[in-house]
Structure 1
């Protein structure tokens, strides 16, 4: 069972009041006793000094008002005792004695009042001191509690930071590339596990050491110069852009690296976070790919030269066969039976197709030969020459724009593109009239897009990618003549010019062939 401070204070207050009343009653009784004693003795005997005991007794009450009352009442009782006491000899001495008693009472009262005043001052100082001590104690307790809370918060913050640092170290250690942190003096302040694996150093061997220790000796001076330049302009970038970088292991061996730099500003100065990647495997792969590409280019050149030579050499026997067949038809028109004449005409037709095939193969082979620098071409003039050479029939309606853009490229490649697409639009067309339209528009990437549309037979969707392959034909030579190389020539010519080729087609409605080529200066939009 517990009591509050107020509950405990009430009994103490009652006890203090009872004790005060008892002391007051004792003082009153003492005063009355001295007075009664004074009244029954002769007047000459001065017992007024006994009232000093009454004055002294008020010290226990610690009440100045009570002491003053006791002094006044004692003086009154001394004088009253003089008048009420029996008369006797020594009247004058009695008066002097009474006045001496009054004087002693007054002096005693004064001393007691001074003592009470001093005790009161001491009590006030004591209470004030106790109040201040209590406040100070309470303040110190609050500060102590706040300090303890602050220490707890600091401990938790420390643990939190240690956890973050531990997680950050685990994260950096798990990073797939080596991570280094270097200060503004070029000293290593942190290195992850992969750095230790790449260079063969322990953490103690790296931290605090100059980063030049990881650079080959022949490159250290240049590296120091570049590091100073980076400190003047710290921006996130790749180190040594356009140059081959090398690092040095603990055993002195070198290996190619790729390094990224990222500056970090701190109160202690500039720190540089560097990522280091060992690109030995990549360099080996690049070297292997370069060697294979060189071999492939050499083989392609040999194959192209062989194709060109074979195609060129085939022309002579094909021309001889064609001429001999013509001689037989011309020299012996009556002696050769009609059936054999048909055979000779078949030979002549087959030889013409073979010559056309050889010509297309030669054109395809020429595309792979090293070209001269591209020139600015007038497409309008080129189209007119192509139309004149194709001998367009009267039922063909070809529409071209009034203005043409200048195009950068090789003239013979552009001729192959336009000539094949226009002739195909006429050849694979059963409409009447046959309509061919040529349009162009400017692209955003510095290219111009040409489109050639027709109202021909169209192409099924599943064949729209195959038609650009060499010798790929969708119809027999009896239906439509040709070698199956034309669109392959177009596709390769567009690719040589750096453009792209596409087709949109619908059966029975026609096709739209589009391609892009580099555009020259001073162009005009359609």
Structure 2
């Protein structure tokens, strides 16, 4: 083989130098041919060069390894010996077609190509065709790549996709569906043949289609595995036109045809229905609890009114005072239910709101003291469950009532402070203090009054601890753990 040279340059050299110039030109051509052969031999791909009639003129070591022939068994033979028999009949026609339009291009674009080894086994190949102009005419240099392993990987990938429990749809950068699995057929109601090659928008409800291409382009601009439309409700469209809610995971997949998107699609219709059922049940529960708290509050108010009516028929001041204390306790419990009813949060009571309602009514019930005793409240954002809010509210009621009745005798002026704060993890610290006359030395809290006895009992109910500072100021400190859940 002689690689074609520039004729005008060769003629000028011969005209100037005669036989010597011709010998030099031939030496250059010979060196060029040796370089060409070295390049072919060093190629990592199998290279086979044939003439216009399809006779093999040149192969490299990779071709020998790939096809299992020795070089001397290939040179001069028809290239059809490397092609499975079922393709040999129309191969010369394809070769002639290349000769009429010789340009570098892949062979059989869009078709599956196969080579055949000496032992008769077939294997999938990719072939690149390159025209080579020589003194002996057009030659075709074929670069042949065994893609068996790639095909195996692709087949493994297809099997994994097919076996996936979710609907799997793979699309190209143009939005064309390249692969689906059986679950996708079931979920969307299409046969596979109806989906392949179609635009992905066929599976998107019409009201979302106009914005979908921009979202797809955005993914290809920054491909990374992530959920689609995070924070938004997504819907798929079945063949019958019905819509259904979906979750979609997007994954970039590198293929021989470029980057593609593999979408894992989950029909979440059942989940949405269950969530709606739960929401409906919660709404019904809220209505029921609201009615329960409202009725409990009303019943406690009725009891309060009955005690008030009973008080109006009694002349004994001691009995009247006892009835008033009972009324205040009932009012305290009633206010807890009123706070829950008004807040619509039936699990926890806003203790600050509760005290804002309780303390003014408590001061009003001791009208003789309210104009000379100042009340200060400092409460953090503390929320208590109902089973703790009621005893805690009663404790505050008893301690303030006790201070109003006993701490400021003889028209004495003074101050009562109520404070509540979070103390450590899930613990509340509550204090009620006054600057009145204080408790007598040696006075037992348990036997002091019914109210203080109740305080001790309620503190135990809260699994809390209570301590007392007897004077300057008189202060009751209660700490208890908040029940979580």
Q: Normalized against structure 1, the TM-score is what?
A: 0.42
- Answer 1 or 2: which has greater strand percent: 2
Q: Normalized against structure 2, the TM-score is what?
A: 0.45
- Answer 1 or 2: which has greater helix percent: 1
